């Protein structure tokens, strides 16, 4: 249990990820709640491998050295479903068997169903989606789906958030709006964020530290 | 460049009348093959149903009965134990279906994102092609009081020095039938589900949503049930219904594992049809109609169960609960999976032991004496049945292959998949209990005085081989990159040339796979061989079933093993071929790499 005045933080301590004994990337970073660490690099540079390590889903062919601290607690060995790290992908990945409200309720902690419903209504109208509770996810536009996916992550009360190229599937107008909304909401919740992207404008909008990963062992 | 191409293709375009005729013939054949395929499936089934419907209501000219009436149904109702027969058929199919379904879900849930799922798939896969009769014999040997389980547990745990007199198999409650059916249905359902969710786009989406659920704090098993299952159940429904329909009317399993007095309805119907008293045929036909209703009510019950569980679970899907004792259940499933695999391995091992056993006193777990005599004497007698099995299987599979390939070619040429109606028809012989239409089919064949036993049996097998061959080939054919055919056509290749020299070679492995499957399905057919062949055509399967309940356990074990070996040989050949092909591919790749390296160095 973290007390209310403690600042959230995500700390990567002397991490090295290797594939078959060849180092892929090394990292040593601390992200304070409300800050965004942007990670950029060409495909194959290990961006998604890093995210997999952070969520505890590193495939077998990789080995990792180093520790991950969330709010001062070492979670390097904790299984992914007990890490409290929320994930936002480029696809909204809403569950098609649940309504919009059902998707958000799925993420919320267990509790009184009336309170949960009120919270969902509130959250939806906060992002301009009031009244869409009972719609099927497929019937929403891409931007609306992205916002529901954001609410789903935020209402699961994560302690940190990872963004995996979250805006790359949206067109530029929508991209700006959604991006603004995401960063605004995340700052409000004072969560540490790691964002992986290959779009320069995402990095500028994040207004935080930017790390460039290089493709290892490219001689040419 | 493009100018060159066109002029070339014009030059190569066949102008001779002979080739033109061939092209025309091919296009006609292709055009008619879907209709022929549908006709081959639908006519015997409908004709067969008519052939039991008429006698069921008293119309049987062969016995000079041309008055419609209900006496068949009256006789049926008055049969002693009829209620027990019905409930045995109904409950053994529902319970075994439910068990297979639940076990499939537990395996999927526990190993969804683990390499163990693929391993379990490989372990259970071979069971899919073991004929029902052989599987039933193996299970009978396992659970009988002098079987492997009792031997392993005696005397240290049970204290038994000689076999107890428990009625296993053949127990009156159908527990043995349920065990047998569950064990055969489980791999089918699991593999059908896995292949359905392996479709590239769906698989990526499901795994990503599963990861979303995990990242939201859901424990793995709960994540599967709440986030994955609702999306894959629609894909499991059809195989599930096929299992239930089959189980409610199957004959081999209840014949070998079920009680005799009374047996399941399907077995009783078969006995009535085979009775020397021909007047029992009217009662048997009425029974076949009753069997149809039982199968329908089993399917309806499943539908009700589905709706019920949907209604109960819909609220809890999004109630936010992250775990329902996942850690405990995961351990339970691990232990259960081990027991299940052990159970199957023990059943197979027991059968191998029996086939070589000389003296083997209870409760020793291993025979005291190993002999070859059972195999030697069986191999002397089994030659004709093996040749029959192979001949029927090859004929049925070849016809099925040709029809399937031509129909799929028709789809490709017309750029449209079969109509919804046609794709349902393909499942028809799998959904309608074979005992209900096969007798009508025999009666029809008698009516047209068809004496060609072999062709009749092969055509009856075709009814069951065709759906599987079609299902197994359709996906690969539809996934073929059509740009190859376009390029070939632009180079002046005729449709028949594209079909024979491009599509077929590209599909070599799927075609071989479908052939092996078709052969395996044909090898395992019991009822069509027995009924349509009128007992005059013995295959390994009919021999194995008739030996299972009478002859020595050792001979029976040999026949069951031969029954398993036939499809196993077919599949091993395919596997060897694919290994060979992969090796060639790897060799080419390696050569390319070396070549590139050499060019690099030289540069």
Measured distance CA(A193)–CA(A197) in Å, rounded: 13
Measured distance CA(B511)–CA(B506) in Å, rounded: 10
Measured distance CA(A152)–CA(A130) in Å, rounded: 15
pLDDT (0 to 100) of residue B353? 95
pLDDT (0 to 100) of residue B132? 93
Q: Which two tokens stand for residue B571?
A: 């599949």
- For residue A19, what are the β-bridge partners? A22, A62
Identify the residue whose tokens are 């033109």.
B20
Measured distance CA(A70)–CA(A160) in Å, rounded: 8
The CA-based angle B283-B288-B292, given to 5 degrees, is 145
A66, A12 Cβ separation under 8 angstroms: yes
Rounded to 10 deg, the angle between the B17-56 and B434-447 helix axes is 110
pLDDT (0 to 100) of residue B458? 94
Q: Which two tokens stand for residue B601?
A: 């160095």
A93 and B321 in contact by Cβ < 8 A? Answer: no
Q: Which residues contact B134 (CB under 8 A, 6 or more apart)?
A: B544, B560, B561, B563, B564
Cis check for the bond before A164: say yes or no (omega within 30 of 0). Answer: no
Strand duo A62-70 + A73-74: pairing: antiparallel
Per residue in B197-233, pLDDT (tens digit) is 887 788 889 999 999 999 999 999 999 999 999 999 9
What's the gap in Å between the CA of A105 and the closest CA on chain B?
5
Measured distance CA(B512)–CA(B571) in Å, rounded: 9
Q: How confident is the model at residue B249 (pLDDT cuts 50, 70, 90)?
A: very high
Q: Residues B130-153: what's their mean pLDDT? A: 92
Measured distance CA(B129)–CA(B127) in Å, rounded: 5
SS3 at position A159: coil
Q: How confident is the model at residue B422 (pLDDT cuts 50, 70, 90)?
A: confident
A84 and B217 in contact by Cβ < 8 A? Answer: yes
Tell me how far the alpha carbon of residue B350 is from its chain's centroid.
Answer: 24
B318 and A89 in contact by Cβ < 8 A? Answer: no
Q: How confident is the model at residue B16 (pLDDT cuts 50, 70, 90)?
A: low
B208 and A91 in contact by Cβ < 8 A? Answer: yes
Nearest to B453 by CA among B522, B541, B537: B537
For A71-146, strand residue ranges (E) read: 73-74, 85-88
- For residue A13, what are the β-bridge partners? A67
B211 and A57 in contact by Cβ < 8 A? Answer: yes
The CA-based angle A68-A9-A203, given to 5 degrees, is 95
B375, B557 Cβ separation under 8 angstroms: no
Burial B115-148 (b: 16+ CB within 10 A, else e): eebeebbebbeebbbbbbbbbbbbbbbbbbbbbb
3-state secondary structure B59-84: EEHHHCEECCCCHHHHHHHHCCCHHH
Q: Residues B232-243: what's their mean pLDDT? A: 92
Per residue in A15-25, pLDDT (tens digit) is 999 988 888 88
Q: Which two tokens stand for residue B310?
A: 């949907």
Rounded to 10 deg, the angle between the B200-215 and A47-55 helix axes is 50
What ipTM does this complex have? Answer: 0.84
C-alpha gyration radius of chain A: 18
- For residue A25, what are the β-bridge partners? A17
| A:48-67 residues touching chain B, CB 8 A cutoff | 55, 57, 60
Measured distance CA(B93)–CA(A4) in Å, rounded: 58
pLDDT (0 to 100) of residue B126? 85
Measured distance CA(B73)–CA(B468) in Å, rounded: 35
Q: Which residues of A touch B318 (CB under 8 A)?
A: 98, 101-103, 105-106
pLDDT (0 to 100) of residue A217? 53
pLDDT (0 to 100) of residue B565? 93
Residue A219: what are its φ and ψ, rounded to 5°?
Answer: -80, -30
Measured distance CA(B196)–CA(B470) in Å, rounded: 16
Q: Which two tokens stand for residue B130?
A: 């073991």
A108 and B205 in contact by Cβ < 8 A? Answer: no
> Between residues B266 and A214, which one has the greater pLDDT?
B266
A36, A186 Cβ separation under 8 angstroms: yes
A160, A10 Cβ separation under 8 angstroms: yes
* Kind plus residue range of the DSSP H or E element containing A162: strand A160-164
Alpha carbon dihedral B167, B172, B175, B178, in 10-degree steps, equals 130
SS3 at position B368: coil
Domains of chain B by range and CATH?
A: 1-62+382-603 (1.10.3720.10), 74-371 (1.10.3720.10)
Per residue in B436-475, pLDDT (tens digit) is 899 888 888 877 777 788 999 999 999 999 999 998 898 8
Cβ-nearest to A98 among B115, B220, B318: B318
Cβ-nearest to A110 among B205, B209, B321: B321
pLDDT (0 to 100) of residue B9? 44
Per residue in A172-195, pLDDT (tens digit) is 888 888 899 889 988 888 999 999
Q: Which two tokens stand for residue B418?
A: 């079969």
- For residue A11, what are the β-bridge partners? A30, A69
A81 and B226 in contact by Cβ < 8 A? Answer: no
Residue A210: what are its φ and ψ, rounded to 5°?
Answer: -120, 130
User: Mutate which of A95, A120, A149 to disrupt the B interface (most B C-beta within 10 Å)?
Assistant: A95
SS3 at position A160: strand
Q: How confident is the model at residue A209 (pLDDT cuts 50, 70, 90)?
A: very high
Q: How confident is the model at residue B534 (pLDDT cuts 50, 70, 90)?
A: confident
pLDDT (0 to 100) of residue B19? 74
User: Mutate which of B210, B212, B323 to disrupt the A interface (most A C-beta within 10 Å)?
Assistant: B212
Largest pairwise CA distance in chain A: 61
The CA-based angle B323-B325-B326, given to 5 degrees, is 70
Measured between its terminal Cα atoms, the distance across chain A in Å is: 51
What is the rounded average pLDDT for all residues in chain B?
88
Strand duo A193-197 + A73-74: pairing: unpaired
Residue-level length of chain B: 603
Q: Residues B86-115: what's their mean pLDDT? A: 95
User: Mutate which of A81, A149, A150 to disrupt the B interface (most B C-beta within 10 Å)?
Assistant: A81
On whether any CB of chain A is under 8 Å from the CB of B226, the answer is yes
Largest pairwise CA distance in chain B: 94
Measured distance CA(B474)–CA(B417) in Å, rounded: 10
B257, B136 Cβ separation under 8 angstroms: yes
CA torsion through residues B344, B347, B350, B354, sign: negative
Q: Residues A26-47: what's their mean pLDDT? A: 90
Q: Which residues of B touch A90 (CB under 8 A)?
A: none
Q: Which residues of B touch A80 (CB under 8 A)?
A: 211, 214-215
| A:123-162 residues touching chain B, CB 8 A cutoff | 152-153, 156
pLDDT (0 to 100) of residue B465? 95
Write the DSSP symbol of residue A95: -
Rounded to 10 deg, the angle between the B229-249 and B200-215 helix axes is 120
3-state secondary structure B177-199: HHHHHHHHHHHHHHHHHHHHHCC
Q: Residues B363-389: what's their mean pLDDT? A: 92
Model confidence at A4: pLDDT above 60: no
Model confidence at B293: pLDDT above 90: yes
> How much of chain A exceeds pLDDT 70, in percent?
95
Tell me how far the alpha carbon of residue A117 is from its chain's centroid.
Answer: 24
Measured distance CA(B4)–CA(A39) in Å, rounded: 51
Q: Which residues of B touch A83 (CB under 8 A)?
A: 215
Residue in chain A closest to B115 (alpha carbons) equals A60
Residue in chain A closest to B225 (alpha carbons) equals A97
Cβ-nearest to A110 among B209, B211, B320: B320
pLDDT (0 to 100) of residue B81? 92
B216, A86 Cβ separation under 8 angstroms: yes
On whether any CB of chain A is under 8 Å from the CB of B225, the answer is no
- For residue A88, what are the β-bridge partners? A163
Domains of chain A by range and CATH?
A: 9-84+158-212 (3.40.50.300)
Per residue in A141-177, pLDDT (tens digit) is 988 999 999 999 999 999 999 999 888 888 888 888 8
């Amino acid at each position: 249990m973290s007390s209310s005045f403690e600042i959230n933080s995500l700390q990567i301590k002397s991490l090295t990820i290797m594939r078959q004994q060849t180092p892929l990337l090394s990292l040593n970073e601390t992200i304070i709640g409300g800050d965004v660490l942007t990670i950029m690099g060409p495909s194959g540079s290990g961006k998604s491998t890093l995210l997999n390590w952070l969520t505890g889903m590193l495939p077998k062919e990789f080995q990792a050295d180093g520790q991950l601290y969330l709010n001062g607690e070492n979670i390097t060995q904790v299984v992914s479903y007990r890490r409290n790290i929320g994930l936002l992908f480029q696809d909204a990945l809403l569950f098609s068997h649940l309504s919009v409200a059902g998707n958000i309720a799925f993420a919320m902690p267990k509790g009184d169903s009336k309170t949960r419903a009120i919270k969902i209504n509130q959250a939806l109208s906060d992002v301009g989606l009031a009244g869409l509770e009972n719609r099927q996810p497929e019937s929403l536009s891409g931007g609306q789906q992205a916002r529901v996916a954001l609410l789903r992550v935020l209402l699961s009360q994560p302690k940190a958030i990872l963004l995996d190229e979250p805006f790359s599937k949206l067109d530029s107008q929508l991209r700006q709006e959604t991006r603004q909304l995401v960063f605004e909401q995340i700052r409000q919740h004072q969560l540490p964020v790691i964002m992986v992207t290959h779009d320069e404008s995402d990095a500028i909008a994040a207004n935080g530290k930017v790390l460039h990963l290089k493709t290892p062992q490219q001689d040419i | 460049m493009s100018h060159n191409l066109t002029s070339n293709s014009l030059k190569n375009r066949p102008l001779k009348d002979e080739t033109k005729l061939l092209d025309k013939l091919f296009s006609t054949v292709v055009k008619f093959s879907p209709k022929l395929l549908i006709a081959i499936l639908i006519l015997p089934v409908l004709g067969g149903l008519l052939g039991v419907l008429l006698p069921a209501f008293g119309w049987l000219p062969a016995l000079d009965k041309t008055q419609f009436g209900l006496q068949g149904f009256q006789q049926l109702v008055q049969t002693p134990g009829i209620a027990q027969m019905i409930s045995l058929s109904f409950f053994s199919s529902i319970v075994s279906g439910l068990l297979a379904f639940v076990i499939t879900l537990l395996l999927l849930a526990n190993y969804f994102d683990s390499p163990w799922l693929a391993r379990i798939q490989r372990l259970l896969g071979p069971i899919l092609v073991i004929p029902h009769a052989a599987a039933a014999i193996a299970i009978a040997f396992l659970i009988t009081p002098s079987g492997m389980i009792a031997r392993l547990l005696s005397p240290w745990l049970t204290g038994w020095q000689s076999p107890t007199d428990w009625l296993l198999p053949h127990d009156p409650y159908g527990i043995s039938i349920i065990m047998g059916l569950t064990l055969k249905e489980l791999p089918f359902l699991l593999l059908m589900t896995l292949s359905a969710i392996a479709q590239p786009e769906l698989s990526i989406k499901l795994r990503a949503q599963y990861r979303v659920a995990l990242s939201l704090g859901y424990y793995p098993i709960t994540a599967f049930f709440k986030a994955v299952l609702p999306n894959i159940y629609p894909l499991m429904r059809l195989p599930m219904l096929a299992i239930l329909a089959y189980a409610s009317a199957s004959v081999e399993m209840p014949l070998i594992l079920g009680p005799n007095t009374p047996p399941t309805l399907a077995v009783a119907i078969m006995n009535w049809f085979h009775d020397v008293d021909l007047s029992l045929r009217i009662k048997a036909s009425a029974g076949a109609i009753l069997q149809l209703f039982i199968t329908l009510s089993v399917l309806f019950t499943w539908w009700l169960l589905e709706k019920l569980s949907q209604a109960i679970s819909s609220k809890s899907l999004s109630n936010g609960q992250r775990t329902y004792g996942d850690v405990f259940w995961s351990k339970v499933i691990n232990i259960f999976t081990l027991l299940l695999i052990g159970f199957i391995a023990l059943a197979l091992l027991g059968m191998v032991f029996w086939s070589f056993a000389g003296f083997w006193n209870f409760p020793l777990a291993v025979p005291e004496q190993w002999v070859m005599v059972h195999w030697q004497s069986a191999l002397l007698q089994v030659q004709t049945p093996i040749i029959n099995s192979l001949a029927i299987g090859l004929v049925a599979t070849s016809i099925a292959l040709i029809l399937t390939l031509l129909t799929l070619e028709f789809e490709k040429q017309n750029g449209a998949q079969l109509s919804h109606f046609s794709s349902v028809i393909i499942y028809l012989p799998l959904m309608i209990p074979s005992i209900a239409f096969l007798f009508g089919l025999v009666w029809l064949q008698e009516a047209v005085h068809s004496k060609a036993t072999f062709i009749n049996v092969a055509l009856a097998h075709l009814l069951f081989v065709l759906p599987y061959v079609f299902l197994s080939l359709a996906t690969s054919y539809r996934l073929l990159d059509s740009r190859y055919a376009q390029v070939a056509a632009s180079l002046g290749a005729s449709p028949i040339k594209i079909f024979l020299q491009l599509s077929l070679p590209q599909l070599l492995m799927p075609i071989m796979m479908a052939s092996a499957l078709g052969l395996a399905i044909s090898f395992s057919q019991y009822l069509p061989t027995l009924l349509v062949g009128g007992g005059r055509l013995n295959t390994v399967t009919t021999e194995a079933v008739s030996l299972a309940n009478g002859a020595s356990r050792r001979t029976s074990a040999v026949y069951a093993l031969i029954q398993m070996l036939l499809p196993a040989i077919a599949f091993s050949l395919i596997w060897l071929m694919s290994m060979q092909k992969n090796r060639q591919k790897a060799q080419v790749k390696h050569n390319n790499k070396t070549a590139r390296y050499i060019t690099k160095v030289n540069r």
